[in-house]
Structure 1
Amino acid sequence: YAPSILSIMVIGIVFTPMLRADGSINKFFGAIGLGSLSQAWLTNPSIVIFTIAFVAIWQSAGFQMSIYLAGLQSIPKDYYEAATIDGAGGWKSFRYITVPLLLPAININVMLTLIGGLKVFSEVFVLTGGGPGNASQVVGTIILRSFGEGSWGLGTAINTLLFIAVTIISIPLLLFMRRKEVSE
């Protein structure tokens, strides 16, 4: 859970030297005989966005897991005992008890991840600033650049479009996922 409470600035300070061409990740790959996997993780335009996504996933994984853990702890043990008595094995218990009763936690995680992915900014800004070139530009960095150049109307318009996109995607998805949920 610890990475989820760290500031993105701290994560950027830690990961930037690790992800350089001569950084500890590439040295680790070389030490275990996988030197061919070494990359310039933050300066290679074809993989920089995936590198940033990995860092963001690493940071939020603990928070997501805590939501799943809370969902798992809320499932009554009686259901599993009844399934065992009825002859259900581990897979059937998982499929017919755990997954349906864990759907609220899954839905919350999907929504939070979707919204966070659409409005990502901090990770890109701290790790690359939108570079190399424009390879890791996202809507948030475009908005920042618009405001920084004095194009306040353009920045506000893009921000409004981002809000509309998040709303248009999130609300139907939320309604669809809510219909799939099972109440105890």
Structure 2
Amino acid sequence: MKPAAEPAHARTASGRRRSAYPYALYLPAAVVYLVIFLVPTVMAFYFALTRWTLFDSSFVGLDNFKDFLAEQNLRVGFWNTVFYAVSTSGLKVILGLLLGVLLTSRLRSRGFLRSAVFFPVLVSTVAVGITFSMLLKPDTGLVNQVLGPYGRDWLGDASTALLSVALVDVWKGVGLATVIYIAGIASIPEEYYQAVAVDGGSAWHRFRHVTLPLSWPATYSVIILSFIGGLRSFDLIWTMTRGGPGFTSDTIASIIYKQYQAGFFGLSTAGNVLLFLLVTAIIVPLTYVLGKRQVEL
């Protein structure tokens, strides 16, 4: 005797319950995302249109944005931000790729070298900034003692201050880029390298025709992460130069912080909103272009 068929409406209800179950697992993450990101973002857009303190606020429209864009050193801060982001992300890509290739080769001590390269990533950014500020002191710093007559005031000279901070940023962050490249290179099938070897290709041919193109997903990740970090850079710059000498190493983030220090909370909130829009306007097209190239590969 065949069992009675389940009614159609019961099957539909059961299917809905089953299909709703996976989405319920997203709920905790959605709540955290809503509370930690979406709500503060909406509040920031509102308070950017006000002059506010901890206890009061008054609506001023777009005046904060006009005042922030009228800042004398904003143009310098904008170009410093772009320079810092481009230089740090570019160097992390190049050095991370080279170190990734080296540390995936048959080195006897590659485990130790991987740990040594990644170690700066674990160190506090503020601690790194203070340490290198001491090392780069013009009179007593170790760097100038090693360089002798070629030493200079690295952080006190307008022509070298921002570049010095950028190089320290690369030293601290290249370990993460290297780990990403190690993972990308290790995932390349060995058959490709064997095919190059059969054709008589050298190590350069293996790198040029196999490692470089097939590690593009890692390159994509490093570029996006490093560029976003560079555009939002603040802590290392503030620790080492505080935007000086003068305003020559100011970035948009440090200008915003100075407004907070001066008590112009609405003005600095407007600056944060503009920085958010700037990062979005740069990263979204960059992600599309790089992602399209990744698909084509």
Both proteins in one fold, TM over 0.5 = yes
**Which residue of 156, 173, 182 corresponds with 2:269?**
156
**Which residue of 159, 162, 187 corresponds with 1:74?**
187
Structure 1 stretches of 5 or more lacking a match? none
Contact map agreement 1:100 1:182 (CA 8 A) in 2 = no
**What is the CA–CA distance in structure 2 between the aligned matches of 1:101 and 1:64, rounded to whole Å?**
16
Residue 28 in structure 1 maps to residue 141 in structure 2: no
**What is the CA–CA distance in structure 1 between the aligned matches of 2:158 and 2:196, rounded to whole Å?**
51
**What is the CA–CA distance in structure 2 between the aligned matches of 1:157 and 1:87, rounded to whole Å?**
60
TM-score by length of 2: 0.57
Query: What is the total number of aligned residue pairs between the two structures?
Result: 179
1:2 is matched with 119
- When structure 1 is superposed on structure 2, of 138-147 and 88-97 the one drifting more is 88-97
1:144 is matched with 257
Cα shift at 1:129: 1.3
Q: Secondary structure in 2 aligned to 1:136?
A: coil
Identical pairs, percent: 37
Ranges of 4+ aligned residues in structure 1 off by more than 4 Å: none
**Which residue of 100, 118, 131 corresponds with 2:244?**
131
- When structure 1 is superposed on structure 2, of 6-15 and 83-92 the one drifting more is 83-92
Q: What letter matches 2:177 in structure 1? A: Q
Structural RMSD (CA): 1.6
Residue 122 in structure 1 maps to residue 239 in structure 2: no
TM-score by length of 1: 0.91
2:113 is matched with none
Cα shift at 1:151: 1.5
Cα shift at 1:75: 0.7
2:132 is matched with 15
**What is the CA–CA distance in structure 1 between the aligned matches of 2:130 and 2:260, rounded to whole Å?**
25
Cα shift at 1:13: 2.4
Cα shift at 1:183: 8.4
